[in-house]
Structure 1
Amino acid sequence: MPDVPDPAVVHLRPAQFGEAETVLATCGGLTASTFRYPSGVAALRIENRDGHIVVLPFQGQQIWDAVFRGRRLTMGSMFEEPLPTRNYLATYGAFFLHCGATAMGNPGPEDRHPLHGELPNAPYRRVWLAVGRDGDGPFMEVGGAYRHVVAFTHGYEAQPRVKLGAAGGRVRLTMCIDNLRRAPMELMYLAHINFRPVDGARLIDTVPDDPRHMRVRTSVPAGLALSPAHRRLLEAVGADPALHRAIEPGRAIDPELVLALDCRADAAGWAHAMQLHPDGSADFVSHRPDELGCAVRWISRTGDEEALGLMLPATAEADGYTAEKAKGNLRVLPPLGRFTCTVAFGALDADEAAALRQRIETVMDGGA
């Protein structure tokens, strides 16, 4: 196999992002362009032959939007654009965001951490775009480094990377978190991928349909009401988790349905989930349970929010620091230790979806 050359790396600064969209780089069917939303938030669009993603390079390294084959994958929300804030619910509606790393999930009564931790809108000072070619062909990859330091308590650096190839709707995420302190570090991390639910679709995955492997959260976060109708939905899905797999037109899920999932992996070590659309195409998430041992499913269909967290791979469930510590779900990094994970997600055409469905069925039938 021939040697693969090192990618070219362009280091980015906020001054490079103006109101008008401007091409930054092109290579092998890929284009990167910079712009700012009217809110002032800087954005980097990576476009391939089949669609594009919009990354917020300096604000959480979120993927604010994703469109492939003419379809917007991103959840529906009341936010038309990202806003320059670190408040999680004050700029809400991204396709993907990082959660953690000192804490994650909905804070419980004893918790003091913000909703989903400090990573979702973390300010990145070091940001870059890598342009190159690997065994799959040309690619562009957005990366950055966020350093979080609190004296005597926490010190880590997060380095995420988001990669898109020259064709198709697959996004590849890599996260690396380094403990910078000479003491152990408690770590929580969740990859929050927010698709738009498609009426008539069906959820397919490598998780058995029983309450032991799909556990419904019966409470709602503080400040949200639990109506009698929603309580009945939680009770029904809790008794028979398969009931939630059909995305039914007109079925409200207000405020949310949350399940903790125990995923099975295929022979290569990957667990998979799909939203299989009526036309045979699909949305998908794949992750390695040996890296991210927990997974969460989150669905919200309030009329104002239309969201499907198909599979949110994580180190813990989403009940906040105190509850997850009591479950034994906190990851502990050794002094100067490192955590890494890789997640793939995005859109599949009908042929790709059929192939992934076959892999899922093989796992669930007990094969490799």
Structure 2
Amino acid sequence: MIPSIDPVDLAQRLIACPSITPATGAVFDVLEEALVAIGFSVHRFVAGEAPDGPVENLFAVRGSGGPHLAYAGHLDVVPPGEGWTGDPFTPEIRGDLLYGRGAVDMKGSIAAFVAAAARHADHPGTLSLIITGDEEGYAVYGTVELIRWMTANGHHPDLCIVGEPTSVSRLGDMIKIGRRGSVNMWVEVAGTQGHVAYPHLADNPIPPLVRILSRIEAIELDQGTEWFQPSNIEITDIEVGNPATNVIPAKATARLSIRFNALHTGEALAERIRAICEEESPRATLTARISGEAFLTEPGALSDLVSGAIRDVTGLTPELSTTGGTSDARFLARLCPVVEFGLLNATMHKLDEAAAVQDIVALTDIFGLVIRRALGPT
């Protein structure tokens, strides 16, 4: 007999496990115990080394054949910071809110999905959970490694829900059907150090860096699309590190961050910026790190499925959106259609992060409807 699971209790037990990214260990033990009890087969593995690892990953599966509905999430959390009202890893219900790091992002959501899976254990098809400990970090050894393992072992979801906190003012008012891509770039202009009174014996790297940044600042990448806001380039750091007033420095550097829509790719943007650097200075170099490409799941069967479940539980019709930062959905979109839906995001990454107890309960009801309608009645 499949036991029932209280989603709020499970959320508290997950929060009580400190799991600052990259996460391993006890928090996965708690989740595995809950999943095994309701009939899932659980595979866990650790990938990577410092500084971006080691990272623990978990894949749980129940049932066989199609259709295959997957839920994806992460058990790692950002550092809590100083100034909490209580201990960030001692979950506490005060009033109608559950406080603790990860309550919103996203242990409360994971607990809700597991509780929903416990209610709907006799489904046809396949139900799975794709859970990493690396979403809040560089995401090098997390979902990417899980996808590699899934592919090698014949696990191919047809639909995927990522439980990120997407709701804004009320549970169910927004789901994400895509995200912009992200690329960070580092520009370095080499110079020749020298005395400011003898500039002909030196090569000042600052003027060419200023010209490069001026040209970059003038770029309008696009004006947005039907589903995406305009892409934007932000200069996030400029550094010379020259403490002397009478020395021409040996180098000058800057850092850029570009959030881009589906009109671009990370590599194409890097090449565009690299060309500017080379035109302005033969001694300029560009290093780019692409965090993820833009993706879009066109409105259709999956968004209708999730929207219908939200409407039946909350009475709201959610807005379909692509706003916000990146998530692991950028990797999962390579496998199958994916949407993101979860709790209110107002306190994620903040002091005194908290989720409404009734929202966790209602989210469980919504996920239950999604499971039943995606896979068939119990």
Alignment TM-score > 0.5, same fold:
no
Point out the structure with max Rg over C-alpha.
Answer: 2
TM-score by structure 1 length?
A: 0.30
With CA pairs under 8 Å and 6+ residues apart, which has the higher RCO, 1 or 2? Answer: 2
More strand by share: 1
More helix by share: 2
TM-score by structure 2 length?
A: 0.30
